[in-house]
Structures are given as C-alpha cells and as structure tokens.
Structure 1
Amino acid sequence: MIRPAITIFCSLVVNITMAQEIPKILSQKTNYLPDFSFAGYHFGESQIPESSGKIINAIDFGVKANDQLDDSKALLKALKAASAINGNVIFQLPAGRIILSDILYIERSNFVLRGAGSGENGTEIYCPRPMMYLKDPESLAELREYLTTFDKRQRETENNVDLPFSQYAWSGGFIWTQIPGERVKSYLDKYEPEPNVLAKVSSGKMGEFTINVSEVKNLKSGDIVELQLFNKDGENGEIIKDLYQGAKVKPGSHHWQFPKLPIVRQQIEIVKISGSKITIKTPLTISVKPSYQAQLAEWKHLNEVGIEQLRFTFPDIPRVAHHVEPGNNAIFLTRLFNSWVKDVKITNADSGILAEEISNVTVQDIITDGPHLSHYTVTLGGVHNVLVKNLKIYNKTVHPLSFNTFATKNVYQNCELFADPLLDQHSGANHQNLFDNITVHITADKNKSYYLFGGGGAEYWKPSHGPFSTFWNLNVQVLNPDQTKPVLLYGMKDGPFARIIGVHGNTKFEIKYEPDAYIEFLNTSMEKIPSLYDFQLSKRLKK
C-alpha cells in the first residue's frame, strides 16, 4: 500500500512504501551520497586510547585547587615541564576548582591534558575574566589587522550598537593547540605563505582514491599532506562551476578574489605511490582538473593530542552583541591530526570548542550549558574529517551546530539540542558534511513552522554550502504539537543538492529546503539504519 503523497517544497521527493526497509539513495548511482565514514580519530578505525605515559602532576608545581587563588603561573610552569619530556606525557590536573587567567598552549605531539572528570567531583577550570584582558596572541596578529583594515564592525542601529569585531569572536581559547609560527587561517593576501610544494596534481575523480601527479619531491607512503585546489581563472573559473555542480546559486566574490588561497583543501594520507599515480586513504571531495593547478603541500601538525575529563566554567557576564564577544572561549584546536577531546562540560562560554586546520579529530561526550547566550558550542571551520559525537546543548546559542568556511566531510553524530536549535551551514565553500542522528527540541511558531536549517555567513562567501550536505535520521520533538497540521521546517534558500533522509518526530512535517534537495523517508524514522556514519563505517571495515 502506497502512503498518500505529502506536499514538499523542494524539487525532488521520493515516496516510500511501508515495506521498504532502507532508503533508495543507498543503492542508487544517480543521486550521489558521500562516504562520511573516514571522519574521526584514525579514520574511525580506532577507539580513543586510554592514556598512558609519563604523568606530570600539576600539584607538584604549586597548583592548588579550591584555595580561591589564581593558578595560572603554576599551571604554566607545570605545562612547560611536561612539554619538555620525551615520549608520551599526561599532564594531570587535580580535582576541584582551578583558577586560570592565561592561555595554556599545547605545542607538542603525544600529549594528554587530563582532569579528574567533568562531574561535580572532578576538575573545574574556572576562568574569572575573558581573553580580551590578556596580552594579544601573536598568532592572531593577521586577524587583528584584517579586522581593522576592513573596518569589521557589528552594526545594529536598532540596538545602538556600532562596535568593532572581537578577535575572539571565532578564534582563541584558554586551552589552545598550535604549532608556533604556523598560520591557521587566511585573512590578508599579503601574508599568504609560499607553500612547500611536494607534488603537482593533474587529475583525480570525485569520490575516488587515486590522483595523478608530477614533480614528486620526497613523498612516501604514510605521509600526511594537504591537497590544495585553486581558482586562478576569476569569476568564471571552472572550479566554481564544479564545486557547486551547476546549481542555481550565486557564488560570492571570495571565490575568485584570492587566487593564492586554496578554495578546496583536504588533508590526506598517502597509501601507495606507483610512478605518477598516488593512492590516498580518503575519497576526493571534488574532481581534480588541470585548470585547478592542484598540488600536494607540506602540512605541519601535531599528533595524538588529547584533552579530557574536565569542565570549564565562566561567569555569566552580560552579552553586548554578536561578533563582539570578549573571549570566554574554552578550547581552540588548530593543527591537529589523529587527536581527541572527550568528557568535557562547558558552562557560560562565548564559544565552547573552536577548530581550524585540523583533520581526523574526534570530539565526544561534550555538554554545554548555562544561562549565557553563546556564539558557538562546538564549531567546525576549515577542518576535514572531524567527528563530533554525543554533544548535548542545553544553552541558547547563535550557531549551535555549525559547519563553517572550508569544512568538508565532517560529522555531527548523536547530538541533542534543547534550546532554540539551529542546524547551521555557514558559507565558504564548505561541502559534503553530515548531520547524523540528531535530536532537536523545538517550539513551532503561530504558523506551525520553525526555522531549523540555517545558512549563516557573509555574502562574499555565499552560498551557504556546496552539494551533498546530508541530514540523516533527524528527530524533531515539537512542544505541544498540533496533530491536525504538519509543522513546516524551513530556512535554507541557497544550499544546493542537499540529502535529507528520515526527518521524523512526534508530529508530521513538511520541509522547505532550496534549491534541489533530495528528500526521502519523510515522517519515517530510520530504525534500520539510525546512523549513516556507523552504517558506512561498518560496511567499509568489513570489506
């Protein structure tokens, strides 16, 4: 028996039968579905390890919890000692409240910052004042120049706001991983470095694992490098058309105004080199053509860095405006590969966990809460193959879940949003990201609709996302649902070729997602395959 057709505001809808067990898109070749299973620590093939190594106890360097005194100097002394030790190191924090008013930079591999747990009897890092009162970080100098050069300001005439952007609106954290001197985000063309090019890449096909190269320099199996694709051909560059698959969207000017900036980048592991052919561990997100002047470049990064078993607390200070946040940011992840954050609770942050220029990192078992309106919880910008799982968001946030500029093949899995949820895709050539088995709690407006699919970001980086962004098994729980009328879920106007599979909840739904979304299993839960990531990973590992 065929179910009655449901009115959907999109170009393509697939009706299903009662007997169908899995979505057609899993077997169709005509509707492309990316393989997201490579996201996370060691490509999803290994569990986050139980930490082992030389333990450096912070209390041995004068850190004393619960004494209401600032622990920053003692923490910095202990961190310096821990960082100087060869081999695997665990920097152990004590239980109780530790007061931190300076940045702890993690700048080496094989290093774990560990507390005594994120619960009431665990380790609390309390930050009494925001980062705006600290010495300006050297690594944000280019960002500060960019903000002043282009007069980046938050202007809200209705609220009497005309204030300069903060350098901490989307960068920085009291725990900060970095390689000193290595740039993590491009802002001004004059600072674009000359990369250490290891090979020129002439061709490769989207979704496949081989690339053809020339001029190979010192590459070997096991190397982690960055694949970079460029637009050197201006507003009508071929790569723009390929990136958006001919969709009816208008790309912003940043797609062609910075020819030195890779418009698509992907951190890859080299599996095999055979003459001019290189086999890579993960599939290409778009095809490579000669006009893209693609290359493999050196990618400096840290390995096996962990942050775990602790909580951050910030004062609930008054919020002034968007983009002028003073810097109550917990963790800033940059230049990481095969690393993790787990078992962390964050209260009253401006931004909980920010990420740039990382790959194959797992962030799991995270809670954000508090009365303070946050900018971000865990956001993914300029990152590749990052897995965020078991994130629970209790606080109101401008961008609760957000895929940002240059984010590719990342996954939010098994996350739950309790306060004004929004699934945000924030412009900037981001494409092929997955919202997987997400639960949201919403209150429909008087018109029985809800703005769920956000498309943030500046006009010069539009559209909101590229093709094949995917929503899988989205569980929408409506407060006091009216069963006589479906709730309309809407918001996205410039997100081409999205895949929306298995939207369901405690009432019926309609979806408006433009342009050209593929929608299947509407108002049907994905009981057979609740997680696309788990399904694809299991299938890959069984081969």
Structure 2
Amino acid sequence: MKRQTLFICYSLFIGINVIGQELPKILTQKPVTNYLPDFSYAGYHFGESQIPEVSGKIINATDFGLKANDGLDDSKALLKAVKAANAVEGNVILQLPAGKIILSDILYIERSNFVLRGTGSGENGTEIYFPRPMMYLKDPESLAELREYLTTFDKRQREPENNIDLPFSQYAWSGGFIWTQIPGERVKSYLDKYEPTPSFLAKVSSGNMGEHTIIASEVKGLKVGDIVELQLFNKDGENGEIITDLYKGAKVKPGSHHWKFPKLPIVRQQVEIVKISGSKITIKTPLTIAIKPSYQAQLVEWKHLNEVGIEHIRFTFPDIPRVAHHVEPGNNAIFLTRVFNSWVKDVTITNADSGILGEEISNVTIQDIVTDGNHMAHYTVTLGGVHNVLVKNLKIYNKAVHPLSFNTFATKNVYQNCEIFADPVLDQHSGANHQNLFDNITVHLMPDNNNSYALFGGGGADYWKPSHGPFSTFWNLNVQITNAEKITKPVLLYGMKDGPFARIIGVNGNAKFEVKYDPDAYIEFLNTPMDKVPSLYDYQLKKRLKK
C-alpha cells in the first residue's frame, strides 16, 4: 500500500493509491460518509433513450426560394420556411440543403416536435454563414428586461490598463441566431418588479436531499406525468436557513444576491410527477437539497417545448476583432430556452462569440459538437439556469474565456467525454450552481514557469459567490502535458478558492499531478488510471436502469 500526501490549501487530505483497486471508495463506502450525487438522470428522456432519427412531414427550405452558394442573403426564404413548418401538425422537419446559406436574422423555433436539419456538419454538408452580429438587428423583445438591468445597474467592462470602459452587451450571455422560445415567457429573472406570479400547483413542506418523495399540500390540478418546476426560496435575509443548507456550513462567504431578491427562487428543478398518494408526491429525479418549511417551496407550472432538435449543420461567423470581455457583439449560434427532452447533435461552430447557450432548459442532450476558429470566444457550450443537461463529445479547438462552464442556477448537469485543446479551464460560474459533473474530460495544457496550471475556474460576480455549492464532481480528468518529457516533478493543478466539498476522483495523465482545490475537497485516485469506471455518468445510469 502506497500512501501519498495530497496538498490542499488550508487542509491536508490523505489519499490511498492501491495497486489493482477496482473501484474508488466513494462508490463502495458503507455507510455513506462522503455524499456523491446521482447524475444519471441528465440528458434526453433522463438518459433512458437515444436521440431519435425523427420522421415526419419534411419542409424543404429550397421550396421557399432558398438557394445555397449563390452569395445572396437567405433570411427571408428561411423565415418563410419556418412559418410553413409551424403550420404542420405533428412531427415536422425543416430540411436545409447542402452548401452555404447566408442568415442575417433570428430564426425562432416556437413549437414542439420540430427538427431543424442540415445534411451534415462537414465540408460537403450544410453551412449557415452569419455576415454580421446580432447587435445590428432589432433589439429582441424578450431581452428588454436584461437591457434595463444592464443600464439600471450600469453594468460595464472596466479595464483601465487597457483603456476600456464599455457597457455590457445584451448578447454576452444571451441570444442566438437559432433561438428556441415560448413567446412572452420570461426566461431569466433580472429585476424583482418583473417577477411574475407563477401558476401555483402545490405547496411543498419537506423532502430529503437525494430522495424522490416530497410532502405537499394545497394541491391544485397536479397529475402524474406533469413536468413542473420545483422552487425553493430564501425569504429570511442574509441569515436565511437555506443559505446554510445550500452550502452545508462551508467556510465560504455567500454574496448578496442570495438574499436581495426574495421573490427569486434560489434553487429550482424541473421535475416529472411519477406518483401522487395523498400528501406524498413522488418525482422522477432526486432532490438536490433538503426542503424545509421556511423555504416556502412550491410546485408551479413550467411552460416548455418538447422534442425540438437541431442537427447536422455547420455555423460559421467571420473572424472579427475581439474588443473585450462582456462586450461581445452577438455572434452567437444557438440559444436554447424553454425546451425539455430535446437535442442538438452533429454541429460545428466556427468563430462564434458563444456557440450554444442554455437557459431554463431541462433534460436536453447536446452531443457531437465541435467549436473552432481563430476568434476568442466567451463561451463554447455553456449551461446556466438549467437542470439535467448532458453535453457529450464536445471538442474545443478554439480559445475561450470559459471553455466548459456551469453557470448560475445550474444543477445536475454533465459534461461527458469532452476535450479541450487550447487553454483549458473547467469553470463554475457562481450563482447557487451545485451538483454538476465534469466526466471523463481530457485537457491539453502547458504548465507555467512554476510547474503549475490554473485549471479550476471560479468565474462570476462577487454578489453571486461562492463559485459553486457542495458536491460538484470531477471524474476521470485526463491531463495531457504538451512538454511532458521535460517534467521532472508533479504538476500542480489549482485555481478554485471557494468551491466547497468538491469530489475530485481520478486526476491522471502523462505526468504526475498535485491538486489544490478549496475548501474541503474529497480527492481520490490521484495519478491512478480510471480503467474500471472511466465515466461516472455511464456507471450510474447502467446501475439505475438495472434496478
């Protein structure tokens, strides 16, 4: 038995590396002393079904005047084709031709059972080219509250050393040329005065973290099969009990947004109702935190689209100069909002400010995605305000501020089998995000002059700190050092200062590593290959489906 001492800021964790050990102890512990969330419900149909090859009525965009490769703008023809597709009952596929299509307007997908399909994301497939960013379009009505928020609070990017003092763009983290939405439905909360009165379905008084049963009263019209939103609130100010529970008493300092917006649910999950028996309601997915009466939890209606797909397309933007962080002009490809049991697959995105943005979505699979180009991106595929989303087989060749990022209110989401080739950062972006999984991720990096690398990012504003809540998990992190033959001592991977109770299992690669992650991280299988369980998501899903 070989004993290694692992260095963690302000604390020491002793890891045991046993040759031939089949499973990490965190999987076999009895009784459970280190909680590990079940991430297996992420993805399309809770991971229980593959993305379908949809059949249905095909609307060919070429029938509405679209001509690929003619050098002319195709926006009007595409909008006509979308309108025709919307008139179809049942499954509809809007089929795009091979070749280069030019789009300078937003295509809104506003109905269920809709697939936007190209002929492939490669050279001979379908390319949608965007000649100018969204800043030159008419301001989207659905971003009016965001625009007011940015001006009311004078949100600006200030970099005196670079002579930059510029207002934030409404497109820094929102909007996209392909945009799913329910018209008139607010997607993200910014100002209390616009907080709607939700369609109340039940009051929830109790439930345990990791379990599926909640106790409810005042049930109104709720039925088995409904997809609804569970909301938990902090109505008790800076010392609210839910803040302590959310961060499990960790030595972190929660920012003011945890109590300044009492109308805003601080924890939310989209849940499927499986069973109703008197006051007991069973939901399909486990609770991320316990529910107590003071949280004034409730089930409310959640309006959403179902079975929306975007597939087999390449999105290309011109390589424009980058001005500064948060002032991006809006070269954003896809903005997913208000979708459930939906997908994006086989998509390549070149020179985007943000490739795929998600907000207020659940049980979506985003797979076989490539981002590339010379342009420095803000995000590649990012998850904010979303639940149970699976991002699978994402290859990132371009540089990005946040290559992989779990953002505000993100819970139980998974990046799986992803690879970052340029300046990798595994970011968790503040805002009560908790219990997300980086699973079987490969990163390519070069250590700095101190033989270290800031791999673990904790972005976001101070008013939403800490960077994440308990039980964020890193599983089988494969680190490839570009100059490994010159490395003679362990490389220090660091960067997180306020991410409590993380689970870091299986950091390995072509060198030896140390990990510094604060506070109170659980670290196991350091410098040990994860041959037996390379993917925690797959392991948990297989185990659940066998029951």
Please report the TM-score for the alignment, with normalisation by the length of structure 2: 0.99
Distance 1:323 1:333 in 2: 20
CA displacement 1:373-431 (0-9 Å, x = unmatched): 00000000000000000000000000000000000000000000000000000000000
CA displacement 1:492-533 (0-9 Å, x = unmatched): 000000000000010000010000000000001110000000
Distance 1:240 1:196 in 2: 26
Q: Which amino acid aligns with 1:32?
A: Y
**Aligned match of 1:500:** 504
Structure 1 residues without counterparts, runs of 5 or longer: none
Aligned to 1:503, the other structure's residue is in SS state: strand
Is 1:39 the equivalent of 2:42?
Answer: yes
- Aligned length, in residue pairs: 543
Distance 1:158 1:6 in 2: 38
**Aligned match of 1:526:** 530
TM alignment of 1:212-227, pairs within 5 A: 212-227=215-230
TM alignment of 1:133-282, pairs within 5 A: 133-282=136-285
**Aligned match of 1:393:** 396
Q: Which amino acid aligns with 2:211?
A: E
Note closer, same or farther for the CA distance 1:98–1:280 as it changes in structure 2 (3 Å cut): same
Aligned to 2:471, the other structure's residue is in SS state: coil
- Using the TM superposition, give the Cα deviation of residue 6 of structure 1 relative to its aligned residue in structure 2, in angstroms: 4.7
Aligned to 1:42, the other structure's residue is in SS state: helix
- Using the TM superposition, give the Cα deviation of residue 7 of structure 1 relative to its aligned residue in structure 2, in angstroms: 4.3
Contact 2:6–2:15 (CA under 8 A) maintained in structure 1:
no
TM alignment of 1:309-328, pairs within 5 A: 309-328=312-331
- Using the TM superposition, give the Cα deviation of residue 12 of structure 1 relative to its aligned residue in structure 2, in angstroms: 2.9
Contact 2:5–2:13 (CA under 8 A) maintained in structure 1:
no
**Aligned match of 2:368:** 365
Distance 1:273 1:402 in 2: 36
**Aligned match of 2:57:** 54
Q: Which amino acid aligns with 1:335?
A: R
Structure 2 residues without counterparts, runs of 5 or longer: none
Please report the TM-score for the alignment, with normalisation by the length of structure 1: 0.99
- Using the TM superposition, give the Cα deviation of residue 17 of structure 1 relative to its aligned residue in structure 2, in angstroms: 1.2
Aligned to 1:473, the other structure's residue is in SS state: strand
- Which of 512, 518, 524 aligns to 2:516? It is 512
Contact 2:4–2:15 (CA under 8 A) maintained in structure 1:
no
Is 1:450 the equivalent of 2:450?
Answer: no
Is 1:17 the equivalent of 2:18?
Answer: yes
**Aligned match of 2:28:** 27
Distance 1:189 1:317 in 2: 36
**Aligned match of 1:329:** 332
Q: Which amino acid aligns with 1:516?
A: D
Is 1:346 the equivalent of 2:346?
Answer: no
Distance 1:108 1:484 in 2: 57
Distance 2:282 2:218 in 1: 16
Contact 1:476–1:503 (CA under 8 A) maintained in structure 2:
yes
Distance 2:183 2:294 in 1: 34
Q: Which amino acid aligns with 2:506?
A: G
- Using the TM superposition, give the Cα deviation of residue 20 of structure 1 relative to its aligned residue in structure 2, in angstroms: 1.5
Distance 1:288 1:504 in 2: 37
- Using the TM superposition, give the Cα deviation of residue 88 of structure 1 relative to its aligned residue in structure 2, in angstroms: 0.3
Q: Identity across aligned pairs (percent)?
A: 85
Distance 1:63 1:497 in 2: 53
Aligned to 2:157, the other structure's residue is in SS state: strand
Distance 2:2 2:398 in 1: 42
Distance 1:25 1:511 in 2: 18
Aligned to 1:316, the other structure's residue is in SS state: coil
**Aligned match of 1:90:** 93
- Using the TM superposition, give the Cα deviation of residue 479 of structure 1 relative to its aligned residue in structure 2, in angstroms: 1.3
Contact 1:11–1:517 (CA under 8 A) maintained in structure 2:
no
Is 1:476 the equivalent of 2:479?
Answer: yes
Contact 1:13–1:518 (CA under 8 A) maintained in structure 2:
no
Distance 1:432 1:199 in 2: 25
Contact 2:7–2:13 (CA under 8 A) maintained in structure 1:
no
- Which of 109, 121, 125 aligns to 2:124? It is 121
Distance 1:16 1:358 in 2: 40
Say what the alpha-carbon RMSD is for the aligned residues: 0.8
